[in-house]
Amino acid sequence: MHFDILTIFPEFFGALPDQGILGHGVVSRALRSGLASIQIHDLRCFTHDRHRSVDDRPFGGGEGMVLKPQPIYEALSSLKLLPRPQRPAGAESVILLSAQGKRFNQSTARRLATLHRAVLLCGRYEGVDERVVDLLCDEELSIGDYVLSGGELAAAVLLDASVRLLPGALGHADSSRYESFGEGEADFGEAPLAAAANAAFFPVGSEPSPSVPRSTHASSGILDYPHYTRPAEFLGLSVPEVLSSGDHLAIRRWRRQAALAKTLANRPDLLQTADLSEDDRQYLAGLGYTPAA
């Protein structure tokens, strides 16, 4: 997967892959291994005045400055990208990062990870000329309900969230399935029927390891369960006994319930659309959760 990032602050991203916020962790490894590639483009290189101006005052008056359409158009043209009405759909996407965009989430990250190429346009100042959105961008995304000084941080977030979903980017193929907002797996209940059901549900080569008890349902969408490691006791708090029991079914049940409890505490809104079993609903009711009418 290839990323092009259009920005007026190319130094924000450093000299890839050795410096900057993208020179570390999963993204850096993906770049070094060839799973992903990134090219940074300075929008000021596509201006034609001695001040290298990329912004101007808004029509109609008002505060701030607005990014002009011409440098963005020329930058995209240099990347051999046609205006949106003439652009083939499917393999590539031009994305504007702005506070006015649709909310970016894990589902969007999974979709972007299937693209061959993503062009990330970092908004700045009061915004971007709306004709850029109408003519040049495939979508407009926001990483949250707040305003940043520019789209560079948002572009880095989107890139990291997408790259880590590329096959081979993480150390284990299942790592992105069994985490907050992950795709999860089906939970078929009591052993030994669960083993046979799992074998029927998962495609050949994608079966979950029998030595790793899981907790989440195929519906996904809730938060991950709490994790613990050594030492078994820390500052007076002990690891839940069930996790050392060796009873995988009990561990699976505990993890599911702990994930539901954490979701209720931190993101109860997710429960409104989660695919909950009757056991899930009864457990949540015991915690005082009442679904919205």
| Phi/psi of residue 250, nearest 5 degrees | -65, -40
The mean per-residue pLDDT over the stretch 101-114 comes to 96
pLDDT category, 14, cuts 50, 70, 90? confident
Residues in CB range of 3: below 8 A, 6 or more apart:
36, 37, 38, 39, 117, 118, 119, 120, 159
In this prediction the pTM is 0.80
- List the chain domain ranges: 2-163, 193-286
Q: In the predicted model, is pLDDT for residue 133 greater than 60?
A: yes
Spatial CA neighbour of 243 closest among 284, 212, 266:
212
- pLDDT score at 180: 60
pLDDT tens sequence across 240-287: 999 999 999 999 999 999 999 999 999 999 999 998 999 999 999 999
Single-letter code of the amino acid located at 280: D
How far, in Å, CA of 214 to CA of 186, rounded?
Answer: 9
The mean per-residue pLDDT over the stretch 180-196 comes to 46
Superfamily (CATH) of domain 2-163:
SPOUT methyltransferase, trefoil knot domain (3.40.1280.10)
How far, in Å, CA of 168 to CA of 90, rounded?
Answer: 22
- pLDDT score at 282: 97
Decide which of 1.10.1270.20, 3.40.50.300, 3.40.640.10, 3.40.50.2000 is the CATH code for 193-286: 1.10.1270.20
Tokens of 139: 């979508």
pLDDT tens sequence across 215-238: 444 345 799 999 999 999 999 999
Distances (CA, A) of 9 to 57, 151, 182, 234: 20, 10, 33, 44
The mean per-residue pLDDT over the stretch 151-165 comes to 96
